Amino acid sequence: MRLRPSDLQRVRDIVHQPVLGICAWLILDRHDVECLEVRGVAGEGAGEADTRGDLYLTVTVAPHPFFERKGDDIHLTLPVTGPEAALGAALEVPTLRGKVSMKIPPATSSGRTFRLPGYGMPRLRGGGAGDQLVAVKIVMPSDVTAAERELYEKLKALRADNPRAYLG
């Protein structure tokens, strides 16, 4: 693969020990390619002072607390309450560029995925960016008050459908 100068960024303070003039190509999980030039002192290292070679580094990218990268897309699981899913809501969603407002329509089921176009990772070649995919996860409170229980009992009496009927 031939790289353009615009594809490269300078990496600093990665290597603390001087190594003979080596240019290392780091291919990160972000698909960025960066050049690291390290200058050493003559006579040090494995070869002659003018010897140049390749330095291969393994870079481990720590997982983000709530974003997951798949290609150029960013995936996020968004917890919502039962009433927000049932009635619909406008919610703030974290993105790599900050928070944005996203509308969830009424009767949204857990697992439904919404697309935020252009909110994913920037594409190295070809411009633009991937998308952010937001999967809804309905979360219930760990404890239910007496008033909430009464309301849930009323809702249960209003609906006779069985979402597991297809299982037999």
Rounded distance between C-alpha atoms, residue 45 and residue 43, angstroms: 7
pTM as predicted: 0.66
- The three-state secondary structure class of 59 is coil
DSSP state string for 69-114: EETTEEEEEEEEEHHHHHH-EEEEEEETTEEEEEEE-TTPPTT-EE
Contact 50, 23 (CB under 8 A): no
Encode the chain (168 residues) as per-residue pLDDT tens digits: 333 333 333 333 333 333 444 444 443 444 444 444 444 433 445 555 555 555 555 555 677 889 998 888 999 999 999 999 999 999 999 998 999 999 999 999 999 999 999 999 888 777 889 999 999 999 999 999 999 999 999 999 998 888 899 998
Strands 89-95 and 98-104: antiparallel
- The three-state secondary structure class of 10 is strand
- Structural domains of the chain in order of their starting residue, each with its CATH number: 1-62 (no CATH), 67-142 (2.60.260.20)
